[in-house]
A and B are shown apart, each in its own frame.
Chain A
Amino acid sequence: MTTRDIVFAAVGAITALSALLSVTTKHVVHSALWLLVSLGSLAGCYLVLGQELVGLVQLLVYVGAIVVLVLFALMLTRAPIGPHAEIDTPAWQRVVGALLGAATTVLLAALLLPLFSGVTVELDGGAPGGTPAIAQAVFGTWVWPFELLSVLLLVALIGAFAVSRLVLRSEDETVTARGEVRR
C-alpha cells in the first residue's frame, strides 16, 4: 500500500458512497447534489491517477455543466422539494434492480480484478502520459475523431432543438384534433 493507494481508497470511498446516496436518497434535489459530490470526487480520483487534464475537464463539463443541466431539468419538470415517497419504483423492481446491479459489479470485478492484479504504475516521477502528450495525441493521431466530435456536438444541439420544436407542433395538432372531437 503506497500513499497514493491510501489516498485513492479514501477518494474512491467518497465517490462510491455519494453515488450510492445519489441513487437511494428520497429527495429529488439531493439526488442531483449527491451526484455532484460523486462526480467531483471522481475528478479527484483522476488527479490521484495522474491525469490532471481529465480531472479538470471532468470538473468543468460534468460538475459545471451537466449537473447544472440536470438541476434545471428537475426544476422545469416541477420536481417536488423534500422527501418524496413516489420517487422510487415498486419494491420488487428495486430488489431486482439491486440484484442486477450487484451482478454487474460482480461480473465486472471478476473480469477486471484478475486483469489488473499486481499491476502497478509509477506516477511519482511525472505521469507517462502528461498533458503535453495528450495534446500531441489529440491534435495528431486523434485529430479526425476530434473534429467529428465537434460536428456531433452541433448535431446534438440542433437535434435537441428540433425534437422540442417537432413534438411541440404535433402536440398542438393533437390538442386541436381532440378539441374538434370534443366539440
Chain B
Amino acid sequence: MIHLQLPAALAALLAGIGVYGVLARRNAVLVLIGVELILNAANLLLVTAGSRTGAPFAAGPVLTLFVITIAAAEICVALAVVLVLFRTTGAIDLTAVPDLTDEPEPEPDPQPDPEPEPDLRGEVRS
C-alpha cells in the first residue's frame, strides 16, 4: 500500500526544478536537461494517476511509454538544431544578443555606370 500524495509531490517538485533549470542555464544543452526534468515530472504524474484503481485501458503506463518515445524524438531533433547552431555561430550561448545581420540585406544591384538615355530624336534625325 502506498500513499499517492508522495509521488504527486515529487512530480510538482521535479517540474519546479526543471523550470529553474531551463531559466538558469545559458548553455543550450543544459537547457535541454531542464526540459527533460519537466517531461519526467509529467511521466511521474501519469504513472501516479494510472496507479489509482479503476484507471481504464492501462492508460497511465502506456501513455508514459509514449511520452518517453516522444521525448527521445524531441531530444534527437533538438540536439540536431543545437549542433547546427553551434556550427553556424560557433557558440550556443543563449544570453548572447543574436547577430541581426546574419541575413544579408538585399543589396542594391551594383549599377555599372548607367547608360545615358538613348536620344531617339537624335537617332531619327541622323
Contacts and interface: CB of A to CB of B under 8 A. Distances in A.
Interface of A: 1-2, 4-5, 8-9, 12, 15-16, 19-20, 22-24, 28, 31-32, 35, 38-39, 42, 45-46, 48-51, 53-54, 57-58, 61-62, 65-66, 69-70, 72-74, 76-77, 79, 86-90, 93-94, 96-98, 100-109, 112-113, 115-124, 127-129, 133-134, 136-138, 141-142, 145-146, 149, 152-153, 155-157, 159-161, 163-164, 167-168, 171, 174, 177-178, 181
Contacts of A46: 44, 47
Contacts of B29: 28, 32, 70, 73-74, 77, 79
Given A16-B10, A22-B33, A138-B58, 20 more contacts: A16-B17, A22-B37, A23-B33, A35-B37, A54-B43, A66-B36, A66-B71, A66-B72, A73-B32, A108-B12, A109-B13, A112-B12, A113-B5, A118-B5, A119-B5, A121-B2, A146-B66, A153-B73, A159-B80, A163-B80
Contacts, number: 295
B23 A138 contact: no
Q: Is the interface of B mostly helix, strand, loop or mixed?
A: helix
B1 A105 contact: no
Contacts of A23: 17-18, 20-21, 24-25, 30, 33-34, 37
Nearest to A16: B13
Nearest to B104: A177
B26 A89 contact: yes
Nearest to B60: A129
Contacts of B47: 46, 49, 51, 54
Nearest to B66: A149
A90 B9 CA distance: 29
Nearest to B30: A31
Contact of B19 (A70, A73, A97): A97
A96 B22 CA distance: 12
Contacts of B48: 49, 116
A167 B88 contact: yes
Interface in B44-93: 44-45, 47-48, 50-53, 55, 57-62, 64-66, 68-77, 79-84, 86-88, 92-93
Contact of A149 (B12, B13, B51, B69): B69
**Which of B3, B66, B70 is the most central at the interface, judged by chain A CB atoms within 10 Å of its CB?**
B3
